[in-house]
Structure 1
């Protein structure tokens, strides 16, 4: 089932070419099938069972492609597949006639598959692969309209922020793996206090939070999420309701049993979550674009979920679970409503809309139902979530009172936005809109109606929902049995009074929304700088820094690259030996050395001297071949005739080819270098030679490990069916390596041939033409 969205994505363009927008109905069968399949596990999971499976992916390092289904992952999978079904259908109507509809549906299905894999993954590395895949696919979706600069910027911004957070998450997961020896979520959740008791707990926590906070847009990293509204509305509706932005929340909920219940966890998460809640709602009130208003409330809702997860009490976890489900239903509905208004009326500006109730009655009904749930009013599921939030937060100590006040302000402002989206476009006198407004086709209003109805039914049938969804999910987050029992019948007490206070504050803010919007706008104008502008400044600074580094390290001179390469090789070999006292013992001169051995050494020294004193390039190349022939003779003397033959052939070809190239290129006969440059080059050459000499001496003075030799001796004939062990090694055991070497030599040969042919085709220079001045390295 995890592969089904990817398979559907493969066929999406073909189906759209054949069926046009009706292909969305066919493609929606894929997420619908996943929803039904996951729904079949509801009974087992609600009974306390977990479903696991998988296979070895990279067994050499203990990486499995495994999945883990409990109350948390099952709820997310149901939301992703259920809402995903409606989004695919909605996209078919919203992008009707779009020439790239097939590409869009393919991207949205890939995104769906990535998100499903993320919430079902058990192994750390499998989870990370899907985590990054959501960033990549969201980049494709946000930048779908790639002809617009704003879309490209938003897509790149989302990719950079969430991709950077993904690297932090990878570091955190690897640290947990290294500290605990555990590489899967299921084992980590069963490990008790192993991670909390580790001295590396805080480092791992900060790294993991870096990944979660970037993905779920926590302040001050929230700016990418509203900018992602450049994507088509189906993307916004899906991304904000059930998928990517909740990935960070999912990760925090998943890790709560292993990382929670510490001072750091219960301080960092509530502080950042509460700040995000207030910032998001205030910025939402400032907006007049329906999608931006909803986007900023998504930021605030994510902050509320992070805050509740961080508080970690039983009621806080229950509240987080209820609110996550309620938010997915009403936010998906409202985003699709905003898209339908834009599609049918031609604008999303709330100040240019009004009186659409008669023209769009079904859309209005769905919007009103979702807004009631967003405001936390009965009889919708959002009411249960808000009541449980106040059950969790209310206490008389300053810490609890602070977060209670934060929740009241945040929930009140979300009521303002919910009813601003649901009422202002539809009530009042009709306003002239860019397009003649009318009710959209069934593909546009089906999703909002289903999600709004689900929010109502979930509250009316809360007992069944709690038994199948809320309780298993809360138990998975808490790490112990956590029954959820709240219903539509409120209990008289402080939570109810706080809920009434929230509604009263929200109504007052709604009536003064225009003045409040102006005040917030003035404050933001006075502040001026913000994280979004800071991102642009950071990117410009990064480009400037990269340019300067590139100019410094990539000046375009081959001799500079060679010097730097050999200098760092020498440092990499010499420094460890010097710093860790690993210098080899200098070998004694052998007393039984023979005349022919001395002769070979002499040949090598003569060749070296000949290279140094050579007056022109061709002589230097030919002299350099003497070194190779001396090495070939050493191979022959010490019983390696095949290597000796290879060395003779390589040296001969190298000398011939280099000499041929040098004679065909228009270069100075000699390579003049200033004295200072000669000294630097000589020092680097001596350092490199000394480094390799000391390194080889150290290696040869160690104990010879014969295990690889024994392996080749034992298995060359039975496995590779070859008696010549050297040939078997080259062709079979390291055949891919050999193929790479052949490819390199072939490419180099082709490059040389092309260079020679280009030079040959150049027009001959007249005998009396002046010669262009050349630089020190011989280039004209």
Structure 2
């Protein structure tokens, strides 16, 4: 690691960036036809796309190792200062390598696990789309680009979790994940918009270079809470954790990918990325350890309650995410180094263990811990991969998980009460996860094989290659820890901390307090493994006595939301046109009069203008038409009288020298009257208005207030000095650009031609809808005439 601060002055080739982001998308486009043509063998070809992206990132690793921050991108919406921009530093490099490297193994694993599945092509498409979204998220530099990719990960994970959409549990898990993470995404978007609009920071590069700008801002608290809302929901911090275990309804390759390197790590990535700008405050160092510590211990306890291999691993993922959040919130450089080491270790061992769980399910036909045993002879490669991963997860020498655990205890162990609480929390969580790891990796393989297990067998190479590679990677990364730190963890920690650091922890034991705590953890973990049965019963009994929980609360919240929406809809969408019209006019009147009343911006009383005889005549015609509408006894008479107003306005246009506009007004008014009259004759309405006097006065009052509001607004507008900018523009350019001398026509056809086209499309669509309704009504009448019993009730 160099001794100089990273500086965002280097550039990453734009073509290389597009290739990097586009490779998974290209694979997604080819997935379906390749799967139809080659079946599961398509996995070998499709795995080349993420593998190529992995190699591209490896090619940039040397520059990042030397302290460079590589930027690339292009203008997206220049008028709003938005760029489609990307940033490659130590943090995004390691995440990108995990996403593409583990993603390559997941694609291969999927081909073996889902061999013969009718929707294999669809699955490959979804997993590669998700990979592209996650890769874009960790590389994004522009804040709005990050939001776009953040939401894309929620959408694509929804598709993956609900892949087996014919099962109700899969649909529920997908919806729950989308609602919780999507809601957090909205909170994050609000937080990033605050950063952008209030502080003027548009990219991560600017945010990280802003020093204490965010911490000193009056909006620090809302920004922090909104960002944490996005991070905590995505990374399943309690009580938002419930979506993650329910996401196990997805096929095992999805679970392995979401839990190891992608979806659940997105929130952790965000916290690590923003640590230099938002961290080192009392709120940061209180909220994160609190939520992280509770999630660590709670998730680990819930893991021991389960008997399904995937659910055990799911809850240990919750616990691991809690540990990461707790370490990020501790605030020291050593704690952040520990978080970096544990994140890498977790990605390797958790991806391997999930694939092991799928391999056991594939080869033995069950994931129930109570129905498994004695599989080591039938599935030796899977057993070896499981042990390698579990030893790393348990923090046993000489695996990479041991290195992470050593630094965790070095970071938390101190004599003050805060250090004692953090250390005890870390010991409890790690010991529980040790027990859970070996329940998955040891329990199904040792002992006697149950008679119910019929011919368990090792899966094909596509199934066992992934967990074996990841298990060996956890060992190899520790054995060559110096190289691992130089190329991966030190640059990543430097990006998270904001200053250059060099991690030096190795697999060689260093006697001290941290090593003693590691040994204590192993001893407690072994005891918990042996007592797993009683612990499972105790935790299960406690939860049964408590009863209510966040998962049930989610269902109650969704039911409450549905009931509320039905109640609001029944109230607002009653199906009565008169209520809709009343509501609309009340809102219009309030929108017009309330601002003038609050601000006191009433118009001044105008002087009586000097009108000509013709203008007095037209004004009298307007009054006559108004009175005729009010006193008309017949609806048809009222409609015809209403047309008087439009014709009078057309006469005013003639008097003011706008004959073309007058002609348009005449045509529109004539058509309106004719259409309204025709509609009224088709509807089953009373010929006369038979409302009681109370309703008439009520409606008249609303109409009068709305009319007064519109009149006052027009008076206020006419009393404002006229701004001729737009008039001069159209006068100057109507002929020069659009070659039309009629300014009104030019505005409608040329300057706002797309708007006019939209209006025409709306009218056409409305006409088609009316025609369809008329045809349906006519066909119903014909059916009734032919056979009354077939009429729709």
TM-score (norm 2): 0.95
1:638 deviates by: 2.0
Give the secondary structure class of the aligned counterpart of 1:219: coil
Q: Deviations over 1:710-746 (max 9, x none)?
A: 3333433444344433222212221121011112222
Report what 1:371 is aligned to.
Answer: 390
Report what 1:773 is aligned to.
Answer: none
Q: For 1:643-658, what aligned pairs fall within 5 Å after superposition?
A: 643-658=661-676
Which among 655, 672, 688 is matched to residue 670 of structure 1? 688
CA separation of 1:753 and 1:662: change in aligned 2, threshold 3 A:
farther
Which among 740, 762, 766 is matched to residue 758 of structure 2? 740
CA separation of 1:618 and 1:347: change in aligned 2, threshold 3 A:
same
- Count of aligned residue pairs for this structure pair: 765
Contact 2:413 2:420 in 1 (8 A): yes
Which among 439, 449, 464 is matched to residue 468 of structure 2? 449
Contact 1:118 1:127 in 2 (8 A): yes
Which among 239, 257, 276 is matched to residue 295 of structure 2? 276
Which among 601, 609, 620 is matched to residue 602 of structure 1? 620
1:613 deviates by: 1.5
1:299 aligns with 2:318: yes
Aligned mates of 2:530, 2:668 — CA distance in 1: 86
Report what 1:121 is aligned to.
Answer: 140
CA separation of 1:37 and 1:433: change in aligned 2, threshold 3 A:
farther
Contact 1:664 1:756 in 2 (8 A): no
Contact 1:353 1:433 in 2 (8 A): no
CA separation of 1:12 and 1:754: change in aligned 2, threshold 3 A:
closer
CA separation of 1:350 and 1:759: change in aligned 2, threshold 3 A:
closer
Q: For 1:317-396, what aligned pairs fall within 5 Å after superposition?
A: 317-396=336-415
Which among 62, 67, 71 is matched to residue 81 of structure 2? 62
Report what 1:241 is aligned to.
Answer: 260
Report what 2:6 is aligned to.
Answer: none
Report what 1:533 is aligned to.
Answer: 552
CA separation of 1:672 and 1:758: change in aligned 2, threshold 3 A:
farther
Contact 1:346 1:433 in 2 (8 A): no
Report what 2:4 is aligned to.
Answer: none
1:729 aligns with 2:747: yes
Which among 631, 639, 644 is matched to residue 613 of structure 1? 631
CA separation of 1:451 and 1:539: change in aligned 2, threshold 3 A:
same
Aligned mates of 1:164, 1:91 — CA distance in 2: 30
Unpaired runs of 5+ residues, structure 2, are 1-19, 785-792
Report what 2:11 is aligned to.
Answer: none
Q: Deviations over 1:332-390 (max 9, x none)?
A: 00000001111111110011000000100111000000000000111111111000101
Aligned mates of 1:645, 1:198 — CA distance in 2: 60
Report what 1:496 is aligned to.
Answer: 515
1:677 deviates by: 1.6
1:690 aligns with 2:702: no
CA separation of 1:362 and 1:752: change in aligned 2, threshold 3 A:
closer
Report what 1:581 is aligned to.
Answer: 600
Report what 1:180 is aligned to.
Answer: 199
Which among 53, 62, 65 is matched to residue 43 of structure 1? 62
1:145 aligns with 2:164: yes
1:490 deviates by: 2.2
Aligned mates of 1:335, 1:693 — CA distance in 2: 70
Contact 2:298 2:319 in 1 (8 A): yes
Q: For 1:419-438, what aligned pairs fall within 5 Å after superposition?
A: 419-438=438-457
Report what 1:770 is aligned to.
Answer: none
Contact 2:177 2:244 in 1 (8 A): yes
Q: Higher mean Cα deviation, 577-586 or 432-441?
A: 432-441
Q: Deviations over 1:189-213 (max 9, x none)?
A: 0000001001110111001100100
Unpaired runs of 5+ residues, structure 1, are 767-779
Q: Higher mean Cα deviation, 510-519 or 184-193?
A: 510-519
Aligned mates of 1:570, 1:756 — CA distance in 2: 35
1:756 deviates by: 5.3
Q: Higher mean Cα deviation, 268-277 or 20-29?
A: 20-29
Q: Higher mean Cα deviation, 674-683 or 387-396?
A: 674-683
Give the secondary structure class of the aligned counterpart of 2:68: coil
Give the secondary structure class of the aligned counterpart of 1:223: helix
CA separation of 1:635 and 1:299: change in aligned 2, threshold 3 A:
same
Aligned mates of 1:318, 1:757 — CA distance in 2: 71
Aligned mates of 2:92, 2:99 — CA distance in 1: 10
1:552 aligns with 2:532: no
Aligned mates of 2:781, 2:131 — CA distance in 1: 60
1:435 deviates by: 4.5
Contact 1:617 1:671 in 2 (8 A): yes
Report what 1:777 is aligned to.
Answer: none
Report what 1:217 is aligned to.
Answer: 236
Report what 1:413 is aligned to.
Answer: 432
Give the secondary structure class of the aligned counterpart of 1:668: coil
Aligned mates of 2:511, 2:780 — CA distance in 1: 95
Aligned mates of 2:431, 2:305 — CA distance in 1: 15
CA separation of 1:88 and 1:632: change in aligned 2, threshold 3 A:
same
Aligned mates of 2:380, 2:507 — CA distance in 1: 27
Aligned mates of 2:657, 2:663 — CA distance in 1: 12
Aligned mates of 2:666, 2:86 — CA distance in 1: 57
Aligned mates of 2:271, 2:387 — CA distance in 1: 32
Over aligned residue pairs, what C-alpha RMSD do you find? 1.6
Contact 2:372 2:453 in 1 (8 A): no
Aligned mates of 1:334, 1:762 — CA distance in 2: 62
CA separation of 1:325 and 1:624: change in aligned 2, threshold 3 A:
same
Aligned mates of 1:749, 1:647 — CA distance in 2: 21
1:169 deviates by: 0.5
Q: Deviations over 1:603-660 (max 9, x none)?
A: 1111111111122222111111111111112222223222221111100111111212
Report what 1:679 is aligned to.
Answer: 697
Aligned mates of 1:24, 1:745 — CA distance in 2: 50
Contact 2:155 2:178 in 1 (8 A): yes
CA separation of 1:750 and 1:619: change in aligned 2, threshold 3 A:
farther
Q: Deviations over 1:445-503 (max 9, x none)?
A: 01101111111111111111111111110000001112111101122111011111111
Report what 1:260 is aligned to.
Answer: 279
